[in-house]
Every structure is written in C-alpha cells, then in structure tokens.
Structure 1
Amino acid sequence: MATETTQPMDETQVTRESGTGLDENVAGALSYLLGFITGIIMYFVEPENEFVRFHAAQSIALSAVIVVISIVLSFIGTILTSLLFVGNGGSFALFSILSLLLGLVYLVFAVGSFALWIYMMVRAYQGKTPRIPIAAGLADRIA
C-alpha cells in the first residue's frame, strides 16, 4: 500500500514554479508521462525542486521495477512455451495450464501497472507525494 505525504499549503500560497517555468505539480506529473524517459529529463532539468526531483526519481525507479518484472514474466513464459512443445502428452496439459495462468498473471500485472501510472500522475498533479514501497526507497537514494 502506498503511503503519502502532502506539502503544506494554505489559502495564500500559490503553486510554486519549477525551473522549467511549469508549476511544480505539472512538472511532477509529467515525470511519469513516458516513464523513465520523462523521469530522467525532469530529474536533470530540475536540480533545485525537491518535489519534482522525487517524482522524477520515483518514476525512474518505478519504470525500472516494472521493466524487470515484465522481463522475468516473459522469460518464464518463454520457458513454459518451450517445455510445452518438447513435453509428452501428460505434461502438455500441465504446461498449457501453467502458460494460461502466467498469461492471466501478466494481464493483471499490465492492467495494475497502467492503473498505477495514471494514479501517480494524478496524485503528483494534485501536489501529493505517494510513496510506492520499493520505488520510493530507490527514489530516496537517487534524489
């Protein structure tokens, strides 16, 4: 479950601009737009703004985690498919079921990753700082 911090804001405080001239909430949301690509761009363009740098670093870390998990799932799928074609009759059914289950796991992972991407952009735009457990730890080291 993601934890979240909020920057203190009162009625008189306006949204601060980032070094790019964008409001910091817009720059934070843009950090997630194209994953690690915009994360890296915003990280180097914003050396002063901690809010944008954290979101950029978390975008880089989150993208890396998602890519690694996708590669692992693809590798397992390749192994299962290879075993499916070399197996005998009894193992064919087992590897078929395992391949189907892996496909469902990958589908859930892909939909969850998409939902998390949208959530992170929206929360950054709202000025919030949700901390995704693994990615936030990596982002703290980067930022």
Structure 2
Amino acid sequence: MSGQNTKTSLGLSENIEALLSYVFGWLTGAIFLVLEKENKFVRFHALQSLVTFLALFILSTVIRLIPILGLLLSPLIAIASMVLWLVLLYKAYMGEKYKLPVIGTWVEKQIDKE
C-alpha cells in the first residue's frame, strides 16, 4: 500500500491523482501520464488506465461492427468495463497498486524502466 499523503508534482495526494487518472478512462489516464512526472504510483495507474480503457474502447467499437455478435457482446463488454472501472477507482483511492493480470504487468515494466 502506498502512502496516501505523499505529494505529487501537481500537489495532490497520490491516491487522489491515481483515482483521477481513471475517472474518464483512457483520456484522464493520458492526461495524468503527461502531467505527473515524478510519482511512479500515479504514473502506474495513469498508464494502466490509458492502456486498459483504450483497449476496451477499441474492442467495443470493433465488436459493434459485427452484425449479430455485436448486439450480444456490446452490453457485456460495457458491464464488464463498468465493474472494472469501479474496482480500479476504489483500489487507486485506497492507495493500492492493483495490477491487472496482463496489462498491469506490462505497465509495471514500462514504469520501472523510467
């Protein structure tokens, strides 16, 4: 668990910045990845948000183009995305470096290279 009172380059607590990096999915992930230069905890969550929700956005867009399958799978992807979003918001706010199985491992390697 990371320190929830640790300051960041934007002057917010790191758990608040990590939470905010998920608020609007990949968009806020990209914003916080650019704005936060120092804090690896926030950068981890920002990059995980960017990769996860951009991939889900692309997947749902492509699935919707498939006639019958799209109608069946789109609602399931939307529900799974919402649940995942809520879990990631909560974990970030609680100061946890919660890694998603494949994406989280890749993101951690990218952040550790910095």
Fold shared by both chains (TM-score > 0.5): yes
CA distance in 2, matches of 1:140, 1:129: 10
CA distance in 1, matches of 2:100, 2:55: 11
CA distance in 1, matches of 2:21, 2:62: 25
CA distance in 2, matches of 1:134, 1:70: 19
Q: Does 1:118 align with 2:80?
A: no
Picking from 51, 57, 60, the partner of 2:47 is: 57
Picking from 99, 102, 109, the partner of 1:134 is: 102
CA distance in 1, matches of 2:11, 2:46: 16
Q: Looking at CA atoms only, which structure, 1 or 2, has the larger radius of gyration?
A: 1
TM-fit CA distance, 1:122: 1.0
Picking from 5, 11, 15, the partner of 1:21 is: 11
Superposition TM-score, scaled by structure 2 size = 0.85
Higher mean alpha-carbon deviation, 46-55 vs 130-139, is at 130-139
Superposition TM-score, scaled by structure 1 size = 0.69
Structure 1 contact 61–138 (Cα < 8 Å) conserved: no
TM-fit CA distance, 1:105: 2.2
Deviation string for 1:60-97 (max 9, x for gaps)?
Answer: 001121012112211223xxxxxxxxxxxxxxxxxxxx
Counterpart position of 2:61: 71
Q: Does 1:109 align with 2:77?
A: yes
TM-fit CA distance, 1:49: 0.2
SS at match of 2:66: helix
Picking from 18, 22, 37, the partner of 2:27 is: 37
Hey, which of these two has a bigger chunk of strand by percent? 1
Deviation string for 1:11-61 (max 9, x for gaps)?
Answer: xxx621111111000000000011121111111211110100000000100
Superposed structure 1 runs of 4+ greater than 3 Å apart: none
Unaligned runs of 5+ residues in structure 2 are: none
Q: How many percent identity over aligned positions? A: 32
